[in-house]
Structure 1
Amino acid sequence: MPLDTLPVLSLKTDKAQFAQEIGDSFRTFGFALVKDFAIDRDLIDRAWRLSEAFFALPDAEKRRYHDPAIGGARGYTPFGIEIAKDAKHHDLKEFWHVGRDLPEGSPLADASMPPNVWPDRPEGFREVFDELYRQFDATGATILSAIALYLGLDEHWFDKAIEDGNSVMRLLHYPPLKDLEGEAIRAGAHGDINLITLLLGAEEAGLELLGKDGQWISASPPEGAMVINVGDMLERLTNHVLPSTIHRVRNPNAARAAFSRYSMPFFLHLRSDFPIKTLPQCVTPENPDRYPQAILADEFLQQRLREIGLKK
């Protein structure tokens, strides 16, 4: 597999073949491009329009939905708050988080999974993003079943691990840039915290992953495909057999600097109380267990949220 070209995989492929293909792509890149997923195209189009309309609202109105006490878990997070781990400059973005609505009385309901926040406008926001979240969630479970097969597990191995999981859909806005000379970029080099991330393509380019040779590779998906990447939780679970690859959103060239960039990642998480313990089949004499001590998914999340500036 070429080290500078991500293959585009189809979910219509035979189950075993798709599992092998996406596992190989993850093992090589930490990323895969996937098409033929079961998310409604019209729903996606409406979601883009509503996201753009929300971020166009006055700053004071958007900030009504920002609660610093919950570390960006739900609702609005203003421009210039999130920072990549170990970075010197904050990312050039603002975002909105939609999370899972837990059943009443769930023991998982706490500061990590508070109730959703919904804006008064634009009209239809809640209905569209509730349904888009549901469809993302189902597609993510399908991808995880393929990963389970690739790892030699039962295809339903992840089902209980992600049941009522702390997955988050993020609506991202990178505003136009006035200064291209500074060191800050739209999203600094980072790895994702979660199991896997599913990302719908943005109109504006910029997503890049760091190849094993130290060169940045474009990871912008073609029309009709999404980007899926390994997160730090899956990397830890698989003892780095499936790597969480560093990626970034670089700044545009001068010709595109006046344009906003929008994207919609879905961060698929484990249940908060799930113990992340190295899979035995990912431990060999050549790849000894890096993580002999298990860690709860929520402990891992809280540690990383502090590192990226969303929690104190």
Structure 2
Amino acid sequence: MGAMTADPTGFHVPIIDISPYVRHGDPADRAVVAAQVDDAASSVGFMQIVGHEIPPAVIEEFTAVMDDFFALPLEVKKAYCAPPEINRGYAPPRSESLSLSLGVESAGRMNDFFEAFNVGVEADEYPDLDLPEEHYARNTWPDVAHFRASVSAYFTEARRVAHTLTRIFADALDLPPDFFEGFTDHSLDVLRMNNYALPPGEVELDGELTGMGEHTDYGIVTVLWADQVKGLQVLDKEGRWHDVTPADGALLINLGDLMARWTNERWMSTLHRVKPPIVDGTIARRRSAAYFHDGNIDAMISTLPSCVGAGSRYSPITVGEHIGAKLAGSRAGRPNPYARREAERVRQAMRRGGLGQQ
């Protein structure tokens, strides 16, 4: 297992080669990968993966059309906005506050300084199921050359990687190989493209500059492509923030709240945030794209029998209830009633001073 550049505190995000699973390799090699994932999920909640075999050309074309869209004038991009309850389309700067998805208000206003564009799984993909349109909404495709084709190609690859990861998770947790398939065969997946470098004059700043507020991801697992630019920070168990950048060719992987619920916190959904790097008074260019693998809307998530131990820390909840409450916090400003344990983790970090420090 590899590691990032040494951190003075010893913190690192491990690098794991998942090719034995991608290429259906030797069982012994797969067992090594599963053990590495278990260790990373238990100790850090983040990992880097290589050997995922997403073609470089797919990533290059995807990031090129992402750049083309974000280069459009703000008023043009705003034409692709959706209502807060619809997790699709364009989200302008300062229209969200990710800390509210935890039920914790870290600022008195929506102040997350990033813009985003979301696409996701549509109900039409599963005509035999009566899926709610508000969760499996139709995508809005901007009038940008090759955007739909290039984004869809990357979406397909990221979905494949996410399903490969849940197969690894099953082995790591001593579950049947197909355990997660029944929870993800019409998974509520969303790809969010983020941009942190905005032209001067589009947004007036007041208060502390926040790229993306402290939060945990909502679902099962997140597959993140990101520039090799500082900005992403991960909170360790001592309440200290650490910069995390991907190694060459690596994808960053982190676990969501549903996986923490499933495993009774054997595996953690780690708090993270984005603090845009400032160079000579301007925001350095940074882009990312997060594929959120969230599970079936009607799936009931309860503690795995092997992880109950002395008792479950969480009550059962459906994916729809959980995701709906998280989005109502981040996009509509309504406190999340289901995030008591996650919110307490934020408050503990605040008491230690962690959320105000690098």
The amino acid that maps onto 2:218 is: I
| Partner residue, 1:81 | 95
Alignment of 1:1-312 (within 5 A): 3-13=10-20, 14-68=29-83, 70-71=85-86, 73-84=87-98, 85=100, 86=104, 87-88=106-107, 89=109, 90-101=111-122, 102-121=125-144, 123-176=145-198, 182-255=207-280, 257-285=282-310, 288-291=311-314, 293-310=315-332
The amino acid that maps onto 1:98 is: V
User: What's the secondary structure of 2:19's corresponding residue?
Assistant: coil
User: What's the secondary structure of 2:48's corresponding residue?
Assistant: strand
Deviations 1:100-149 (A, max 9, x none): 1322353114211111111111x111111111111101110101111111
Q: By how many angstroms is 1:253 displaced?
A: 3.1
TM-score by length of 1: 0.92
Separation (CA, whole Å) in 1 of partners of 2:137 and 2:147: 19
Q: By how many angstroms is 1:181 displaced?
A: 8.6
After TM superposition, the structure 1 stretch with the greater mean CA deviation from structure 2, 125-134 or 82-91, is 82-91
User: What's the secondary structure of 2:36's corresponding residue?
Assistant: helix
Distance 1:76 1:16, change over 3 A: same
Separation (CA, whole Å) in 2 of partners of 1:262 and 1:145: 29
Q: By how many angstroms is 1:15 displaced?
A: 1.1
The amino acid that maps onto 1:23 is: D
Q: By how many angstroms is 1:37 displaced?
A: 0.4
Separation (CA, whole Å) in 1 of partners of 2:177 and 2:136: 27
Distance 1:299 1:15, change over 3 A: same
User: What's the secondary structure of 1:98's corresponding residue?
Assistant: strand
Separation (CA, whole Å) in 2 of partners of 1:257 and 1:18: 41
Aligned-residue RMSD, C-alpha: 2.0
User: What's the secondary structure of 1:235's corresponding residue?
Assistant: helix
Does structure 2 retain, via aligned residues, the 8 Å contact 1:180–1:254? no
Does structure 2 retain, via aligned residues, the 8 Å contact 1:3–1:211? no
Separation (CA, whole Å) in 1 of partners of 2:92 and 2:179: 37
Q: By how many angstroms is 1:69 displaced?
A: 5.3
Separation (CA, whole Å) in 2 of partners of 1:83 and 1:176: 18
TM-score by length of 2: 0.81
User: What's the secondary structure of 2:266's corresponding residue?
Assistant: coil
> Where do 5+ consecutive residues of structure 2 fail to align?
4-8, 21-28, 335-358
Deviations 1:199-219 (A, max 9, x none): 012142211100112211222
Deviations 1:65-117 (A, max 9, x none): 1121543x111111111102222152101111110132235311421111111
Deviations 1:251-303 (A, max 9, x none): 31334834331111111111000001111100112xx2112x31110011111
